Structure 1
Amino acid sequence: MSNSGQDHVARGLLLYESHNYDRAEKEFALALVQDPEDARARSLLAICLLLRQEIREALHHVNEAIKFDPQCADAFHVKAIIELSRNHPEQARALEEQAIRLEPFYAPYFGHLSEIYFVMEKLNDSLKAAEHGLSIDPENINCINNRARVLVRLGRASDAEESMRFALAKEPENALSHTNLGWILLREGRIEEAMEHLKTGLRLAPNSDFAREGVVEAMKSRNRVYHVLLKATLAIYEMDARLRLVLLAVLFFFAPLRAFLIPVLILLWSSDQLFNTVLRFDPYGRLVLSEDQIRQSNFFIGLIAVVAALLLYAWMTRVSLLPEWK
């Protein structure tokens, strides 16, 4: 790479770290003008494109980076990030492991491997990867964040909160740290404090679904009924996969419990759509609901309307027959 190309990459990295992603993307593109075969610049450009949801173009650039330099660990790491964003965790895991083989002492790679295992619900592997990364760099924010997420799932929320406080002391403007801490506080019922951190996380990362969903849950959790339902839902989500299978077996094979569990599960399922619908009447709530949540709310409203119409029809039909019953 020419000195000019190196300068563009260096400037791009500074801009990226200050969350100025549009200008960072331009600098990485300028570096490629100087050297089209610069694998690192292509990988960094791919990350910026991913942030704009330009996934096809991001994949093109990262594949070119791997073609130009098959020993570039960053290229495999970036492709792993892209594949995970496409809900391909197995491919992401293989790519991240290749990045680690090429650069075995770089903590961020282990941080992302931990995230991949978390998505795959391999919690012990996720914890091991995060802690291995922290053995290389005890202050790596991604490893701290992913370790905290696993600890919450393992029922060690107080340890997770301590980790997040440490991470924010090191990097106060880290969106993921604020968001993770917000979710931890939300689970503990500290709703207003959780809301503060979740809003900060969303401000720092406006495209973060994790932060936006946290804000939505915090708003709904201000309602005591929903907060109880949320805790029940999270308890089911945080169950070991085998326990969830046992619950399903009970649901299908034990009729006495089925009569109790089915209404409870219906209530848990419908509570989210119900409170999303309520949030649509809140000025801030309308802003943070995703398109998918709005579609689910529309479906829920339509379903309720159909059920109400059927009940009304049944009631009216019964009334019209009353004289004949006499």
Structure 2
Amino acid sequence: MSHPGLARAQLLMDRRRFRLAEEELRRVLGDEPENGVMQAYLALCLAEEPARAVEAMDTAIRATLHEPDTPFTWYALSLVAARRGTWEHARKAGLTALSLAPEMPELLVHMAELMARRDWLPQGLEFAERALAVTPDDPRVLMTAGTLRSRLGRHAQAKADFARALERAPENHAVQANAGWSALRRRDPDAAIGHFRTSLRLDADERGPRVGLLEAMRARNALYRVFLPAALRFYWFQPNLRWVAVALAVALIMYATFVEPAWLRLVLRALIAATAVFVWAARPLADLVLLRDPAGRTLLDRTARTVSILVGVLLLAGSILGIAWTLGAPRGTGLAAILAVLFTISVMGIQQPAAGWPRATYVVYLVLMAIPATIAVLHHARRTDAAGTWVGIAVGGLAFSDLLAEFLPRRR
């Protein structure tokens, strides 16, 4: 481990000069081809380039074959496998490393983070607590434990962990950013904003704190805070659950037919519809409010601003049409109101494809979908036999738009 070539390679890796570090390691391996530690470090360098992921894995595996009793070779294999997304391989390699070095803090933290990435939170916390027992004052260990406790809903313990981490590393941008996410989970947007701003001051190029700051500014809206857990869940698991919400809302509204008196039935239907809409549209509606804030306008990109305005316009149009239909407007008005609201789900998908032809393709598709929607409204108003067919085409086409967004190259 004290080889001068390795020391130079480590310094280059710390400075993210991975190609130069690779050259240094290959020079050493030319003289010592069976040096497993050198091969492990080489694998970590190669893993920084996604196109060389297979080569990185092969190199990491060779390192463990040459030095199977060295914890670091298995640790490196676990890191490379995790980066490649082969989670079970990463887990097994990490456990093998732990069997050789059960109190290695960075390895315990790695296993905790690995479990967290797979949403195995209790198991991850066990590793984090083991790391705390070894190094109770290490900021990274405290940050990892605090993040896991926060995600498990243990907010008081998480807050204490981050307080200790920040005492020891107030200028660590990662600790500040994770403290911001923890504050956001316990619905303290003002504290979260402070942490995210500090993180961005320390490292302005990090995207995570910028996303967190925007989320915290949205969470200042009391209504958004109410729907925040559901909104985040529907955001990550789109498109299917949004349409499940639509189906559930329609079923509840139909069931409300049996509610008497009529005014109570009307109020109940309105509440069901509003709740379903806010679950899937809480984020763009919060962005619409943020447009009034200069800082919010700066943080929102042009696509997010456009989507929030379109969603607001569609929901306003749907509300007006729905009220008009309730007051006795022509038959097609009710369907037009429903389709306007459903269009908001598809419009929100504009942010998902990458800029350029993928997003343009998606937008053109949505514009074209307005044609069958319009035809469906006209047929429904005239009570023609083709009305049901066109309604099915319109709704099915809107549902397909989310699947289209999944297949198109995604925004990074």
> Shared fold by TM > 0.5?
yes
Does the 8 A contact of 1:28 with 1:42 survive in 2? no
Matched, 1:199 2:200: yes
Go from structure 1 to structure 2 and tell me whether the alpha carbon gap of 1:88 and 1:31 turns closer, same or farther (over 3 Å shift): closer
Does the 8 A contact of 1:111 with 1:129 survive in 2? yes
Corresponding residue number in structure 1 for 2:189? 189
Corresponding residue number in structure 1 for 2:386? none
Corresponding residue number in structure 1 for 2:103? 105
Q: 1: distance between equivalents of 2:166 and 2:110?
A: 19
Q: 2: distance between equivalents of 1:273 and 1:303?
A: 21
Structure 1 residue corresponding to 2:164, chosen from 163, 166, 174: 166
Give 1 or 2 for the bigger CA radius of gyration: 2
Aligned residues: 300
Secondary structure at the aligned position of 2:159 is classed as helix
Corresponding residue number in structure 1 for 2:59? 61
Question: What is the Cα deviation at residue 196 of structure 1?
Answer: 0.9
Corresponding residue number in structure 1 for 2:86? 88
In structure 1, the gaps of 5 or more residues are: 238-247, 322-326
Q: 2: distance between equivalents of 1:88 and 1:278?
A: 41
TM-score of the two chains, using structure 2 as the length reference: 0.58
Question: What is the Cα deviation at residue 14 of structure 1?
Answer: 4.0
Corresponding residue number in structure 1 for 2:37? 40
Matched, 1:151 2:152: no
Does the 8 A contact of 1:185 with 1:193 survive in 2? no
Q: Please list the CA deviations of residues 91-148 of structure 1 after superposition, one character each: whole Å capped at 9, or x if unmatched.
A: 2211110011121221111111112222333322221111111111223344322211
Alignment of 1:108-147 (within 5 A): 108-147=106-145
Q: 2: distance between equivalents of 1:258 and 1:72?
A: 65
TM-score of the two chains, using structure 1 as the length reference: 0.70
Q: 2: distance between equivalents of 1:62 and 1:85?
A: 12
- Root mean square deviation, CA, Å: 4.5
Q: 2: distance between equivalents of 1:227 and 1:101?
A: 44
Q: 1: distance between equivalents of 2:46 and 2:197?
A: 29
Q: 2: distance between equivalents of 1:126 and 1:82?
A: 19
Matched, 1:13 2:7: no
Question: What is the Cα deviation at residue 66 of structure 1?
Answer: 1.8
Q: Please list the CA deviations of residues 38-63 of structure 1 after superposition, one character each: whole Å capped at 9, or x if unmatched.
A: 32233223333334434233223312
Go from structure 1 to structure 2 and tell me whether the alpha carbon gap of 1:271 and 1:45 turns closer, same or farther (over 3 Å shift): farther
Does the 8 A contact of 2:46 with 2:53 survive in 1? yes
Secondary structure at the aligned position of 2:353 is classed as helix
Corresponding residue number in structure 1 for 2:310? none
Go from structure 1 to structure 2 and tell me whether the alpha carbon gap of 1:93 and 1:218 turns closer, same or farther (over 3 Å shift): same
Corresponding residue number in structure 2 for 1:27? 21
Q: 1: distance between equivalents of 2:134 and 2:164?
A: 17
Q: 1: distance between equivalents of 2:35 and 2:290?
A: 48
In structure 2, the gaps of 5 or more residues are: 236-243, 256-270, 305-349, 384-412
Does the 8 A contact of 2:173 with 2:203 survive in 1? yes
Q: 2: distance between equivalents of 1:159 and 1:32?
A: 46
Corresponding residue number in structure 1 for 2:212? 214
Go from structure 1 to structure 2 and tell me whether the alpha carbon gap of 1:287 and 1:101 turns closer, same or farther (over 3 Å shift): farther
Structure 1 stretch 211-220 or stretch 175-184: which is displaced more? 211-220
Structure 1 stretch 101-110 or stretch 294-303: which is displaced more? 294-303
Structure 1 stretch 59-68 or stretch 262-271: which is displaced more? 262-271
Go from structure 1 to structure 2 and tell me whether the alpha carbon gap of 1:127 and 1:50 turns closer, same or farther (over 3 Å shift): same
Structure 1 stretch 114-123 or stretch 91-100: which is displaced more? 114-123
Amino acid at match of 1:295: P
Q: Please list the CA deviations of residues 8-31 of structure 1 after superposition, one character each: whole Å capped at 9, or x if unmatched.
A: 3223334544xx111x65235313
Q: 2: distance between equivalents of 1:13 and 1:258?
A: 65
Q: 2: distance between equivalents of 1:51 and 1:288?
A: 30
Go from structure 1 to structure 2 and tell me whether the alpha carbon gap of 1:95 and 1:133 turns closer, same or farther (over 3 Å shift): same
Go from structure 1 to structure 2 and tell me whether the alpha carbon gap of 1:77 and 1:141 turns closer, same or farther (over 3 Å shift): farther
